[in-house]
Amino acid sequence: MEQKIIIKKIKKRRRFFAFVFFLLLCFFLCFFVFQKKNYSITYQVHDFQVEERYSKEKNSYDFLISKNDQVYFTVQLNRHFSSKKIIYDIQEFTTETETCIQLSSNKIRFYPLCRKDNEQISVHLISEEMRSKLNYPLTSFGENVSIDAYNIHISNYLYHDFYIWNYHGFYHLSNQGSEEISLFQKDIYSPNLITQVDHYLFVPDYDANYYFEKVYLLNMETGNIETWELPEQIYFDSIVLGVYENDLYLVDKHEKKEWKINVISKKIEQVGSESKGGITYQNGFINVTMNRLIYQDSLFEGVLPIKYLIDDGLYYLYDDMKIKFLDDAPSYLVSYNEDWVYYLKGDSLYANSLEYGEILLMKYFEWNFNYSNVLFLNYK
């Protein structure tokens, strides 16, 4: 009897280990089947050739769709699917001056891709004739309002917090209300060193002369302000090179030093000197001389996979491809991310995306004269 019990326990233990082994086997099979891998494939959809590329590093899909000499492109950022050949159907629409294609997929919702005058354009720039053929409705985003605060007329908050420089601090505007934040006794007309890092604003102590040893860290989500006493002094003739992964890189031209500043952990580290040179980001960090950082254009490039260019209009750039999505050039690019670009045209602030088109956000007469580095957005 006791021997039978022992045999049952052994069989039960074997079944348990077999079950665990089966689970581990399934896990590893799924891992190898569904793990992200770079690939590039080409296939036909009707008369179109589709080049579909996935980049594990960028976590994005690139699509190049061509027919004869017409080439369209679109990119899908922060996406990953286990299957390939994502596009299964393409419809083409033409007018005398424009062509558009509509891509169909079970994985991705594509907006129409259009061309005019030998360049790709946003679907929001097409004619009414083409729009009727596409039967593509214009969709709105955000909530339209009509509110005045501090001589600023607000039309759409787009669910953001706006911090607008008013020479001694900020106007804070959002759909939760408005407030004035005063920081300095004297008026500051060129706050060149104010820098947004994630949802924080790095604000030097502009009440100081020549150099600052204190900064204000403004939390754009809460409106709270924290004072940080720096262990080193930094001169106001410094240059902000850019921001990478919550680190601000700044070159002090007077002292010929480069600093890496983390506003979240409140740490500052010297990463460059006159004798050893410094670093900048050009699609990856590179070593450069201090003279290059001070006297040449060494601002960060390639931190985001896309960027925007003002050139006879406004263009969306990705690798060597571009899409025109604004005919009249803006006066100043305020900010951008992977989906939206924010810019000024005269005294008016706009947002624009390839999906939703141009949206008027607010008007402020002061922006006709002073618009450089005076407007900051906390994306929601």
Query: Each residue of 224-241: pLDDT tens digit?
Result: 999 999 999 999 999 999
What pLDDT is stored for residue 319 in this prediction? 86
Structure tokens at 47: 């008369």
Exposure string for 233-270, b = 16+ CB within 10 A, e = fewer: ebebebbbbbbeeebbbbbbeebbbbbbbebeeeebee
pLDDT of res. 226: 96
Q: Where are the beta strands (DSSP E) in 160-276?
A: 161-165, 169-174, 177-182, 195-197, 200-204, 211-219, 225-235, 239-244, 247-252, 257-262, 267-273
CA gap 83, 360 in Å, rounded: 39
At 271, give phi and psi (nearest 5°). -120, 5
Q: How many other C-beta atoms can be found within 10 angstroms of the C-beta atom of residue 320?
A: 6
Phi and psi of 265, rounded to 5°? -90, -5
User: How far is residue 298's CA from residue 251's CA, in Å, rounded to a whole number?
Assistant: 10
Greater pLDDT, 5 or 357: 357
Distances (CA, A) of 77 to 50, 306, 353: 18, 10, 14
Digit-coded pLDDT (tens) for 80-101: 888 899 999 999 999 999 999 9
Q: What residue ranges define each of the domains in the chain, with the CATH number in brackets? A: 39-134 (no CATH), 144-378 (2.120.10)
pLDDT at 32: 40
Which amino acid appears at position 184 of this protein? F
pLDDT at 3: 53
pTM: 0.87
Phi, psi of 15 (to 5 degrees): -65, -40
Range with lowest mean pLDDT among 33-42, 110-119, 248-257? 33-42
Could you give the CA distance from residue 360 to residue 146 in angstroms, rounded to a whole number? Answer: 11
Q: Are 86 and 52 in contact (CB under 8 A)?
A: yes
Q: How is residue 122 annotated by DSSP?
A: -
Residue type, 289: T
Residue 131 has pLDDT above 60, yes or no: yes
pLDDT at 104 over 80: yes
Q: Please give the Cα distance from 28 to 41 (Å, whole number).
A: 26
Q: CA–CA separation, 124 vs 114, rounded Å?
A: 10
Q: How confident is the model at residue 80, as a pLDDT?
A: 81
Edge-first strand order for the sheet with 152-156 is 144-149, 152-156, 357-364, 348-353, 341-345, 332-336
Which residues lie closer than 8 Å to 213 by C-beta, 6 or more apart?
A: 205, 229, 230, 232, 233, 234
